[in-house]
Amino acid sequence: MKDKFLKYIENLQDSITSRLEKIDGKAHFKEDLWERPEGGGGRTRVIENGNVFEKGGVNISAVHGKLPKSMQAYFKVGDVDFFACGLSLVIHPKNPFVPTVHANWRYFEMYDESGTIVDQWFGGGQDLTPYYLFEEDAIHFHNTCKTACDKHNPEFYPEYKKRCDDYFYNAHRNEARGIGGLFFDYCKATENITMENWYSFVTDVGNSFLEAYVPIVEKRKDLPYTEAQRTWQEIRRGRYVEFNLVHDKGTLFGLKTNGRIESILMSLPPHVQWVYDHHPEPGSDEEKLLDVLKNPKDWIK
């Protein structure tokens, strides 16, 4: 399974980066191959200063070795070996009318002293962080997520949509990071579902990513915007940074397992503002966004 999923994310990385380069028309992804001293490595691809994408990363990694003590406590296990692989991406467009997007699809194994698998699971999801709310874009993104889920179980979309709303939440701000999507974790084999079933589900979600995001980018990337709208984008990016550094489990796992810091922090945008006690004008488009972030919506209905 680990070899099969690693091959999948290698191919998915190729298809996503080539499509995004074509949309941008100027910038290209810089590839960085790296190795982890304790075992494994990755292939980081970063795009910067493009016509459409100000900064973005589409990274794959496959790391293995002894599970660090700090993560043993987190997973409530003793001395075990682990293998983890996944694709993680964050794209920050230049135009404030184009939303930031994040996605991650991952697979994890743990082994006992004899090398026997004692636990394995899939996780992942994809979510959208707009700076200005276009309801038709939100509906399109969520409908695409639902279509991928419904092929496997009609209960998946409502369950994983709620988990996404709950997880990507800045509790210290009492607001969501964005308008959500899907978030699932610890997808393990049961009497009713095999790891092959989970593989099929996770890869269908991964295959839906470009369909979910690209039409939104193409519709909004050439809209004119003002400096004030750009400032708002940078203020909201600050909230994105806060979530990734304070709450995000993937960032925590990377830092606790001696991950490659440049790859872990590639999710951070290049231009950000923190304005003291900032509040948008009442009745403005900016306030409209905040209302939705404080009260997550059911975009399908």
Of 92, 102, 140, 142, which is the active-site residue?
Answer: 102
Q: Give the confidence band of 103 by pLDDT, cuts at 50, 70, 90.
A: very high
- Is the predicted pLDDT of residue 249 greater than 90, yes or no? no
Q: What residue type is assigned to position 9 of the chain?
A: I
Q: Are 124 and 103 in contact (CB under 8 A)?
A: yes
Query: What pTM, to 2 d.p., does this model score?
Result: 0.95
Mean pLDDT throughout 217-221?
98
Q: Give the confidence band of 58 by pLDDT, cuts at 50, 70, 90.
A: very high
- SS3 of residue 207 by DSSP: helix
Query: What is the largest distance, in Å, between two alpha-carbon atoms of the chain?
Result: 63
Share above pLDDT 90 across residues of the chain, in percent, rounded to a whole number: 85
- Is the predicted pLDDT of residue 257 greater than 80, yes or no? no
- Of 231, 5, 232, the closest CA to residue 106 belongs to 5
List of domains in the chain: 2-294 (3.40.1500.10)
Q: What is the pLDDT of residue 268?
A: 92
Interhelix angle for 2-24 vs 209-220, to 10°?
10
Interhelix angle for 135-150 vs 156-167, to 10°?
130
- The sheet with strand 81-93 has its strands ordered as 30-35, 40-48, 53-66, 81-93, 100-111, 117-129, 180-187
102 is catalytic: yes
Contacts of 174 (CB under 8 A, 6+ apart): 294
Mean pLDDT throughout 49-67?
95
Both structure tokens of 57: 């990363």
The residue ranking higher by pLDDT, 263 or 43, is 43
- Is the predicted pLDDT of residue 259 greater than 80, yes or no? no
Q: What is the pLDDT of residue 182?
A: 98
Q: Give the confidence band of 254 by pLDDT, cuts at 50, 70, 90.
A: confident
Cα separation, 264 vs 262, whole angstroms: 6
The string of pLDDT tens digits covering residues 179-190 is: 999 999 999 999
Q: Element (H or E) spanning 200, and its range? A: helix 195-207
